[in-house]
Each structure stands twice: as structure tokens, then as C-alpha cells.
Structure 1
Amino acid sequence: MKRAFGFLLAVSAALTGLAGLTPAARAADAGVLHIYNWTDYTAPDLIKKFEKETGIKVTLDTYDSNETLLAKLKAGATGYDLVIVSNDFVKIFIDQHLIQKVDASSMPNFKNLEPRWQKRDWDPSADYTVPWQWGTTSFIYDTKVYPGPVDSFSTLFKPPAVFKGKIGMLGSPSEVINLALAYEGAKPCDSDPKLMKETLALLQAQKPFVKVYNSDAIDDRMISGETTMSMEWSGGAARVRARKPSVRYVYAKEGGVGWMDNLAVPVNAPDVDNAKKFMNFMMDPENAALETKFAQYQNAVPASAQYLPDSITKAPEFNPPAGYKIAFSPGCDVKATKSFDRIWTLLRQ
């Protein structure tokens, strides 16, 4: 589930907003696991099953972005045993000593992970995290509005006239700009000045066609027809298509942007043992499938497929084409982040 606002600007704003608040300060509650996750991203049946099998009660708080989570932990919020961090933020959380080592590779169910997800670029030794869900970022469009064919990001960034005022873009600078970089044949986080100038020009030329820059309510806008083309994540695209069959998710010939959300334990977690129990629980095939049924994103446990319906496992959004190039960003450095925020500021003026 991705993502929200520019790292430097959003964290600064979030910290300011949190400065006058009392952090969530809980003592360790015996038999209680406190989870902090993205909004609408935790399967209720998964929580019920964990509580029934372990006797551990679960409480859930939610947030809307990695930046909100980062700012809250930096501001001193305590009481959370588990948080969900996206791949491009894991290194930031590690470097700022906000999450602790859990030695995931020693957990009994670690063997169930697909080998490529046992060693991830953002956590190569599985010291800190366990996979939650993953997917791709691309765009969707209504084939009744534009019959196509569509096989390139050029349709999104240099759209036909029929889409004027009808395009939805995500509200995250990093996601919008990294998708534009994919169209331009560049790697995520590339901040070469000439490329940044070209990217700004591309996005400014697209702007008259954009209805909204917002990562919320994408499904509702597409289904109602308020937008007829929109940036979207793979699982969200599947949910939209289920309600509006004329909508198609595009696997562009330029390739796409991949992401993975990861379970992590804050350094001040009251109950590390219960957190590790949940991490191990999530690497069980049946449990991983429960979350995928709910959110409709891929998980990292291949054996979970036996517990999933064909409507998910055979969905085009769930199955990138053979040879499709997916670029996972390990996280942008400060230089790239500043460049992205500058582009975003100029674009939104």
C-alpha cells in the first residue's frame, strides 16, 4: 500500500504537527500486540485467527504514509510492537535506529518465503524485516473511454485529448516522479539535473489533463467516472476492475515500479516476543493468503496460492507478463529527495 508525501517536506510538517501532542505511551500490556499499519491494509480475519491461535489480543492503529510513521516514531511515540515499512524507507528506519534486529531468518516459517524475498536489497540478511505484501505501480484506464491499444506510459504522460481533466495521479512525489523516470528509461531516484529538468517539463505538460494529485479514493473516482485514467497500484487495479470491468491495468513496455511493504519492530516495542510471533505467523502460507484475499496484493509465500481463489491468482494485475521489468527502489538519497521535492513544489504551484 503506497505511499504519501515527499520525505523532507512531509516529515518536517508531520513533526511540527506532532510536537504538541503526547506520544502514545503504553506500558507493555501482557498478552496484547499493538500493530501500526496503513489504513485498510490489515485483514480482519487474519487478526481473528492470530488471536484465536495464540490467545494474544491485537490492537490496531493506522496511518496514511511512511512519512507519518517515520515522523511519529522520531517524535518519540511508544507502545507499538509492529509497524509496516515500505522497501524504500527501510534503510531510513535502520539508519535512524528506529527499528531493531529480529533475525527473521531464524524463525521457523522463514523457509516458506520465496528465495528472492529471503534476501531483499533493503534488508539483505533479513535482520530487520519480514515481507508483508508487494505489488507494482502503473496506471489504469477505462477502455470505454479510450479503446486503445495502450502499452506505454506515453498514454499517461502525453495523454490523448479525451482524458483532459480526467486523469488521477498519486499524491506522492517519489511515486509520480519515479514512474516518469521509468517512462524516460532512467532508474528510480536518478536526480541528474538535465533529467530532472526534462521530468519537470513532462509533468507540467501533463498537468492540464490531471484532475487530482491524491493517493486516496482512487477506486471511487474511477468507478464513478470522475477520472477515466489514473495511476494505481496492482491490487487496487484489481479491485476497481471487479466493480468496473471496462478498466484495464497497463503493463507498460518501459517496465514498471515495484514495491514491498515489510513488518518491522520499533526499537522501543513493549512486547518483542509477541511481535516476533506475529512475524512468524505471517510467513505461514494459510495466513499469508488471508491478507492477500483482503488486500489483493502478492505475498512472499508461494505455497499460499493453494488457499487463494482463481479470481486472485489468475487476475492480470496479480501476474506481471514474463520478462516484464520491475524496478524496486531501495530508497532515494537526500540529493534525490530534495530534487523531487523541488519538482513537486514547482508542479503544484
Structure 2
Amino acid sequence: MSKKYVKVSHLALSVGLFTASFSGSALAAGELHLYNWSNYFPPSLLELYEKETGTKVTIDSYASEDDLLAKLQAGGGGYDVIFPGASTLGVMVEKGMLANAGINKMENFNNLLAPFQTIAGDENREYSAPYMWGTTGFTYDPASVPGNSLEESWKEVFEPRAELKGKIAMLNEMIDVWNSAAYYKGIDKCTEDPAEAQQILDLLLAQKPDVKLYSSEGTIDRMIAGEVPLHMQWNGAAHRVKAKKPDVVYVYPKEGTSFWVDNMAIPKDSPNIDEAKAFINWMMRPDIAAEASNYTGYSNAVKGSGEFLKEELKADPAVNTPESYGDRLRAYKACSPKSKDLREKVWTKLKS
């Protein structure tokens, strides 16, 4: 999900633990090509991995999961490790686009927290491992909104107050926008009813004049610079905004807040499958997963990583979801082809 200031915090520890994690000598020099959201992977880990393995790592970025899927479907890229969300992962498994890498048999797989050892579409975790997980809500700057406070509701986004009209920003992500609109309208996000899909479209079209832009990139800088007072945003991005603007508020809307997991997977035509497998195994180490969390501002799924996390990450409710908000979280749900078709038609009409 572009979720995403560099800070090297655990390099010395990471270096010291590296050899044990591979149960053998360092890997032979090779190449590794990553394809990920922009600003969503720590440069410190790229440097560490190159230093310890001799493997040359390059990384390219995409602006949306639609771009990721389209590029791989077209046979482009030559990538070794990609980072799809649950929905895109399911499509890729179904279409035979991924290598069955036996992730569940890797040495570090048992480091994963139990709930993350399976995922819809890859129930046995043969094709994927979790990277980061988080939520989709919205962030606002109290100094720039009426009364310095907004309701914990999607109403503030889809039916903004007069002072905010034309000033809000939305993610440019079909699923996130559709799901949030469905939560607000009280509609099943996997609805197959054209009349309910029309209700969602009507809501989004009515909102569209109030939206300054749809963009999943630059959400952090946009909020820090004060370009918009309210942004539909992923929680890790909100955490990184708070590092510069401590007063901003991340909202878990009461109607429902999407809970998502981004994953690591290997395209079936990866030119460096052995290097890709070694890399994913390495990423499931507690200290390495923590370094990724400290950079991105998102939670990871690896047991024992907590001791390596920055204190401000543990203390931020945008990242460490308060127990009282637990009933607001909505997990990924695999929708039928009919439902997906309705969602895609609504998105096309909205963006046309």
C-alpha cells in the first residue's frame, strides 16, 4: 500500500547476527532486483544485505498496485522480489504469476506470529511472506480544521465540511477508496448488487469536486508541508508525519477501518530465484524486520522484533492500535469476480 527519512539504528546488531540466521557461510555474490512502493524500504537494509552477501541489490518503485500487476502481466521488469497487498497477491497466485518458493519451509518462517502464517489466496504461505501490516484511515492537522477537531467518521472525508471542500486528498487506490466508501454507506465491500455499487459511485462522484487530488505518493511530504489539511492515509505514513508535526491526528473511522498486509513474493520468471529466497528468509529475522518497521512506521509480523523497535513507534496509537478501536478494524476479504467487476466499473467512472 505509498506508505512510506532514513535512520540507521540496528546495523551493528544486524551484522553480528547475520551469519547465524543463514546456518552457513555468506552467499555467493549475485544480483537481486526489488520492486516496491516508493519510500517503503530502508536504504540501510539494502546496504547491509549487499555488505553481508556480496549480492548487488537494486530497487524500483511503482505508484499503485494496478501498476505492479499490469507490469508483471505484460512480462516486464525482470524483478526478483515484489511487495503485493493481499488482494493483488491472491490474483497473482490464481493466475500462476508467482514462484512456489516454499516460504513456509524457510528457516525463519517460524519467527512469524501465528495470524500471519496464512493469508487468503496463499493459505499455506507457499508463495509469500508478510512484510508490513497496517490500517487505512485519515490524518488531519487540528490547526487547519474547523474547531481544531474532526469526528472519527468517514463523513469528514466523503462529506467534508464547507471549510475543507476542495482541500482534501485521497489515496489513488481503488480498493482502499471503494472499501472506505462501502464502510461509510454500510454496504458489504464484496457486494454483488449493482444498486449498492451505484450508491458507492454516487457518493464518490459527489465527493470528487471536494478532492484536491488522488495520490498515493508523497502523502507524508504533502501533510508536513501543509498542502492539504486532511489526507486519506495509511497509518505508517501518518506516524512519519507526526515526527515533523506532532499535533496531527490519525483517525480510525468508526464505520470501519481497513486492516491490510503487504507481502513479499517472487515472480515466476525471476532471474535470481535463489537470491530472492535467501533475501525473504533474511527479512523474517526479528532485528531486520524491526529495522524495516522503524523506517516505514508500520508494524511487522515477526516475533521478538519488539525489543528492537523505536520507543516512539511503540507509543504512537497510529501504529500501536488502541484496544478500544479493535472492533473498527476490517480484515481483507476475497471478493467474487462479480463484485470485483462492479468495483472496477465504479473506479473507471470515477476517474474518467
TM-score band by shorter chain is: 0.7 to 0.9
For residues 245 and 230 of structure 2, the distance between their equivalents in structure 1, rounded to whole angstroms, comes to 13
Give the corresponding residue for 1:225.
Answer: 226
Give the corresponding residue for 1:19.
Answer: none
Give the corresponding residue for 1:53.
Answer: 52
2:344 maps to amino acid: D
Give the corresponding residue for 2:100.
Answer: 101
Give the corresponding residue for 1:77.
Answer: 76
Give the corresponding residue for 2:341.
Answer: 338
Per the TM alignment, residue 78 of structure 1 is displaced from its structure 2 partner at its CA by 5.6
For residues 152 and 319 of structure 2, the distance between their equivalents in structure 1, rounded to whole angstroms, comes to 17
Contact 2:36 2:83 in 1 (8 A): yes
| RMSD between aligned residues | 2.0
Give the corresponding residue for 1:164.
Answer: 165
Contact 1:137 1:233 in 2 (8 A): yes
For residues 85 and 2 of structure 2, the distance between their equivalents in structure 1, rounded to whole angstroms, comes to 8
Give the corresponding residue for 1:262.
Answer: 263
Contact 2:2 2:217 in 1 (8 A): no
Return the TM-score normalized by structure 1: 0.87
Fraction of identical pairs, as percent? 40
Give the corresponding residue for 2:197.
Answer: 196
For residues 78 and 270 of structure 1, the distance between their equivalents in structure 2, rounded to whole angstroms, comes to 10
Give the corresponding residue for 2:313.
Answer: 312
Mapped pair 1:328 → 2:331 = yes
2:128 maps to amino acid: T
Quickly say closer, same or farther: Cα 1:203–1:71, change in 2 above 3 A: closer
Moved more, 37-46 or 322-331: 322-331
Quickly say closer, same or farther: Cα 1:236–1:78, change in 2 above 3 A: closer
Question: Which residues of 2 match residues 1-349 of structure 1 at below 5 A?
Answer: 1-2=1-2, 31-77=30-76, 79-144=78-143, 145-146=145-146, 147-322=148-323, 323-349=326-352
Contact 1:151 1:252 in 2 (8 A): yes
Extract structure 1 runs of 4+ deviating beyond 6 A. Answer: none
Structure 1 residue ranges without an equivalent (≥5): 4-28
For residues 195 and 73 of structure 1, the distance between their equivalents in structure 2, rounded to whole angstroms, comes to 32
Return the TM-score normalized by structure 2: 0.86
Per the TM alignment, residue 332 of structure 1 is displaced from its structure 2 partner at its CA by 4.2
Quickly say closer, same or farther: Cα 1:105–1:206, change in 2 above 3 A: same
SS of the equivalent of 1:85 reads coil
Structure 2 residue ranges without an equivalent (≥5): 4-27
